[in-house]
Chains A and B, each alone.
Chain A
Amino acid sequence: MKQPLLEVQHLKKYFPIYGGILKRQTGEVKAVDDVTFSVYKGETLGLVGESGCGKSTTGRVLLQLIEQTDGEILFENTSITSISKKEMKQRRKEMQLIFQDPYASLNPRHTVEKILEEPLIVHGVQNKAQRKKMVQDMLTVVGLDSYHAKRYPHQFSGGQRQRIGIARALMTHPKLIIADEPVSALDVSIQAQVLNLLKDLQKSFDLTYIFIAHDLGVVRHISDRVGVMYLGRLVELAPSTTLYEEPLHPYTQSLLASVPIPDPTIPAQDENILSGEMPSPSNPPQGCAFHTRCPSCMDICTSSRPTYQEVKPDHYVACHLYNEREAHA
């Protein structure tokens, strides 16, 4: 039986908007709006969606870098939403983050050694020689050389910097890694190297990944299961092959049809493309958030929000087309 490492229940994150002369709260941006999923040990869960759909905010809330508005997060069956900051700091040893921009996420004034050592100091490895040894070992693990420890970030290329970012995340031997667009700033040939490295590390360190990206090809390649987000909501979640070959939600279908295929003999799917743009998350449409762009919109979609439910084994969808209970009623 698969064991969940992380369980997310009805997670919400609303950012307030202040306006007017008195700077009163005039509204809120529903960045994450009632999201429920679990991540099993040793798997990779991909989260995809267009910009502004709340995938990065979800990642940040999971690590408690920002506090959720409502909902529950269970890490190894213990709630991390109610524990103190001090306890959370300890917990964070087991959950680490890899950032998108390898140029901005490394301190340019620190040597690689200092960058990699810092998580160890924070988490109480006192012995300096031991720390140094761990840094050297980790550099070899991510495919760099131990003499790189004395260098500064600007002396590395984008791909190498991302390796340093990965090494930093691995220093505390975490169980869960949240990778937020880790390869989107890299060139195609370097991207493949980093993706392969992430896969290798997963095997050797028994890691669980939450992989946040907008590139659907990359997500299919690395993920076991994939969740699709739209306007702060999870619209579909399924094993990766199922999601890509038999997508159920109309949004997933059009998203997949929009991806250009690197094969000119396959005719472009022009009939299934979306018109319009994503509505503002501060004023999402009533009912199903996607109904304004949906090709198969029904009356019910404009008034009531579809429930997110399992329609086939392991295949979750939030769409009235598959709401059997309501269809029968």
Chain B
Amino acid sequence: MPLLQIEGLCTSFFTDEGEIPAVDHIDFHINNGEILGVVGESGCGKSVTSLSIMGLVPSPPGKIKSGSILFQGEELVDASEQQMRSIRGDEIAMIFQEPMTSLNPLFKIGNQLIEAIRTHRNWKHKKCKLRAIEMLKLVGLPRAESLMNAYPHELSGGMRQRVMIAMAMLCDPKLLIADEPTTALDVTIQKQILQLMKKLNKTMETSIMLITHDLGVVAEVCDRVVVMYAGKIVEQTDCVTLFQNPKHPYTKGLLASVPNIRSKTDRLYSIPGNVPKPGSIQQGCRFAPRCELAMDQCFTETPPIYETEEKPHEVRCFLYDKEGEPRHETTVT
């Protein structure tokens, strides 16, 4: 049984302009001990997916409309707030993009770490403190004891992100959701943080869901990848296959538009048009208006997920109609 199994998840925002489906019928799973990458451009629903898992979708206006999120066999969609509180930070932890805004500037690092443990563990203060220091050492921070008395503003961006990771790892979570953890950091610091996450994944067997827009980061750390576009999963496979044999025209376009530091091309491929606003495309494949290979069918019907046989490789595109059998019929929304 996978650690996390998501089926048919739909999360919408109900605004004055009507319903905006941010996440629309997505299915994926995370196995024990694996690093799953979720890639996509802004507005594709990757962050809303993670907030849905954590039960943190701002409501109103947001709401999980349908679908199921099974974590270790337990349904999270209709779990009570109390249940979610005991899972959040304990079994599933999350780190965010901007480490400065996720730490309270008024409290010392030590207080914030100890508070996180005491929420979930009925430990004595001294034990909590030792655990906090142990985690700060684990994430590679020097002078862990004195850092406990430091305020967040005294640390640099990379150190703050390490503190966030230490805080997330305090209760040995089974799943760590990292939402763009390195986007605000410089490349040399990004490299250090990615290495740290890989190390934690190996040594503590924590599964990681890594949300990012950077394909280079995906290639470096992920085992499997989910590509999202405008609220839908368009392609899902293991990391090597995705980069060597991408199937969906969007994935292909995305890979071709990244400038490579290894070689110089005269002209970059660019996907024409703009990323659609969530909810602006009602009918057909959401990528069809920007797709060079779009057929008439693409504008009227939503393509189902096709599975190719040789390796688990799912792609939501009519071009693969003959290659594999559709897994299930088109979900009409």
Residues of A within 8 A of B (CB): 50-51, 157, 159-160, 187-193, 195-196, 199, 214-218, 220-222, 240-241, 244, 254-265, 268, 270, 273-275, 277-278
Contacts and interface: CB of A to CB of B under 8 A. Distances in A.
Nearest to B190: A258
A214 B254 contact: no
B274 A160 contact: yes
Which of B194, B261, B267 has the most chain A CB atoms inside 10 A of its CB?
Answer: B261
B259 A195 contact: yes
Given A263-B243, A277-B158, A221 B187 contact: no
B258 A262 contact: yes
Contacts of A188: 41, 213, 215, 254, 257-258
B219 interface: yes
B275 A187 contact: yes
Contacts of A159: 274
Contacts of B214: 260
A50 B219 contact: no
Contacts of A261: 216, 219-220, 260-262
B240 A265 contact: yes
A217 B269 CA distance: 14
B270 A157 contact: no
Given A190-B275, A260-B194, A265-B244, A244 B186 contact: no
Contacts of B261: 216-217, 220, 244, 256, 259, 261
Contacts of B274: 157, 159-160, 190
B219 A192 contact: no
A276 to B, nearest CB: 9
B192 interface: yes
Nearest to B262: A261
Nearest to A50: B186
A273 B191 contact: yes
B327 interface: no
A268 B221 CA distance: 9
A102 B150 CA distance: 36
B225 to A, nearest CB: 9
B141 to A, nearest CB: 12
Nearest to B223: A264
A214 B189 CA distance: 13
Contacts of A157: 274-275
A193 B216 contact: no
Nearest to B244: A265
A192 B257 CA distance: 6
B51 to A, nearest CB: 20
Contacts of B26: none
A256 B188 CA distance: 9
A259 B275 CA distance: 26
A100 B220 CA distance: 27
Given A195-B268, A254-B188, A264-B219, 6 more contacts: A192-B270, A217-B259, A241-B264, A259-B187, A260-B191, A262-B255
A255 B255 contact: no
Contacts of B275: 157, 187, 189-190
Contacts of A260: 190-191, 194, 214, 216-217, 219-220
B220 A268 contact: yes
Contact of A262 (B186, B219, B269, B270): B219
Nearest to A222: B259
B267 A196 contact: yes
A262 B267 contact: no
Given A187-B41, A260-B219, A262-B219, A274 B257 contact: no
Nearest to B222: A264
B259 A218 contact: yes
A187 B42 contact: yes
5 contacts: A51-B186, A217-B216, A254-B188, A257-B191, A261-B220
A265 to B, nearest CB: 6
B264 A189 contact: no
B253 interface: yes
B265 interface: yes
B86 interface: no
Contacts of B195: 270, 273
B240 A196 contact: no
Interface string B155-198: 01011000000000000000000000000001111111011000
Nearest to A191: B257
Given A187-B42, A268-B220, A193 B270 contact: yes
A262 B258 CA distance: 8
Interface string B139-155: 00000000000000000
A264 B243 contact: yes
Which of A190, A192, A215, A217 has the most chain B CB atoms inside 10 A of its CB?
Answer: A192
A187 B258 CA distance: 10
Nearest to B277: A157
A189 B260 contact: no
B271 interface: yes
B244 A50 contact: no
